């Protein structure tokens, strides 16, 4: 399972870096990141189930896994925030390390809810719609308003 997790994250990291490099605007990069993350949950549903349910419960995984690639993945979020701060688009009082965890936590909870609802064959929501709404929520708090310096 650990090797599967690492290999999957390696591919996602590569794809994400490529997609982000095609964008110049940090706000659009932010949207692309969230969309791609949640798209991958839907595209690789079986893998998402393993990641969301099995690995979380594995004490061996938690003890033995060094999350180097996962840290790289999360750092893509903080890099976007820093770039936006440098361009005076994102508020400077938003700490990138804290925000990357908050943003990932929100995406992770949406993914977990979606996976569980699929397993229970209950009513679910569209992840693409969630991605857009989640980006809107975070960008509303991260970005400078017209009145702020």
pTM of this prediction? 0.87
pLDDT tens for residues 22-47?
999 999 999 999 999 999 998 888 77
Beta-carbon contacts of 10 under 8 Å, excluding residues fewer than 6 positions away, are 69
Would you state the structure tokens that stand for residue 51, as one six-digit string?
């990641």
C-alpha dihedral sign at 65, 36, 14, 92: negative
The pair of three-digit structure tokens given for residue 95, joined into one six-digit string: 């700490």
Looking at residue 143, what DSSP letter applies? B
pLDDT digits (tens, 9 = 90+) for 76-117: 999 999 999 999 999 999 999 999 999 999 998 999 888 888
Residues 6 or more apart whose Cβ sits within 8 Å of residue 118: 45, 49, 124
SS3 90: strand
Could you tell me if 90 and 143 are in contact, meaning their C-beta atoms sit under 8 angstroms apart? yes
pLDDT of residue 99: 96
- In this structure, what are the phi and psi dihedrals at residue 44, rounded to the nearest 5 degrees? -115, 60
Q: Residues 112-138: pLDDT tens digits?
A: 888 888 777 776 788 999 999 999 999
What is the number of other CB atoms lying within 10 angstroms of the CB of residue 30? 25
């Amino acid at each position: 399972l650990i090797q599967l997790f690492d290999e999957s994250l390696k591919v996602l990291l590569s794809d994400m870096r490529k997609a982000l490099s095609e964008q110049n605007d940090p706000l659009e990069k932010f949207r692309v990141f969230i969309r791609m993350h949640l798209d991958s949950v839907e595209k690789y549903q079986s893998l998402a189930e393993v990641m969301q349910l099995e690995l979380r419960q594995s004490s061996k995984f938690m003890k033995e896994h060094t999350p180097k690639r996962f840290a790289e993945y999360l750092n893509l979020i903080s890099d976007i925030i820093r770039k936006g701060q440098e361009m005076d688009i994102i508020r400077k009082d938003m700490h990138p390390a804290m925000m990357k965890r908050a943003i990932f936590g929100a995406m992770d909870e949406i993914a977990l809810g979606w996976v569980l609802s699929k397993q229970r064959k209950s009513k679910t929501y569209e992840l693409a719609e969630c991605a857009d709404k989640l980006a809107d929520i975070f960008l509303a708090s991260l970005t400078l308003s017209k009145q702020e310096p």
